Amino acid sequence: MRIYQFLKSMGISFDIIQHPPAFSAQKLAKYLHTPGRQIAKTVLLKTMDSYKIAVLPADQMLDKSQIELLIETKVKMANPLNMSELFFDCEWGVVPAFGSAYGISTIVDSCLLKCSSIVVPGHSHLESIRINAKDFLALENPMFGSFTKPEMVAV
């Protein structure tokens, strides 16, 4: 299912943002002239028996030990093959923020609760979605917690 069709079927308003190829959330923030705290980075995690999508601000990085404490299990980063199998309707390497569309639970870092709207990945590296943060949270009904630390990469 295409992400846009999913959102429309759920009655969610959103804007599609076209942009140059962005292979990182920090690069997307730069292209959109938007603070990294309003751009969501998505990470696919693998536990012993399931996958989870972690959604966090672009200007932060995932703290593996903190997310393991939060969900009370060990995790590892999923590999690109896992991503392509799960998100077959997305471009290679894209992890959508809408786990509910794929039967995957979503975990959101509490930092994103401060935003009125957020930009999340679309289904390619050329498009993103701007969505009201409250709509996103109502749709996903995610687990919340603090599991980030400052990003250390240059754009």
Show the domains of the chain with their CATH numbers. Answer: 3-144 (3.90.960.10)
Q: What is the pLDDT of residue 154?
A: 53
Which pTM was predicted? 0.92
Percent of the chain residues past pLDDT 90, beyond the cut: 87
For residue 82, what pLDDT band results from cuts at 50, 70 and 90?
Answer: confident
Mean local confidence (pLDDT), 137-151: 93
Taking phi first (over 0 means left), then psi (-120 to 50 degrees means alpha), and beta for anything else, what does residue 93 get? left
pLDDT at 155 over 80: no
Q: What is the pLDDT of residue 62?
A: 96
pLDDT at 127 over 60: yes
C-beta neighbour count of 105 within 10 angstroms: 16
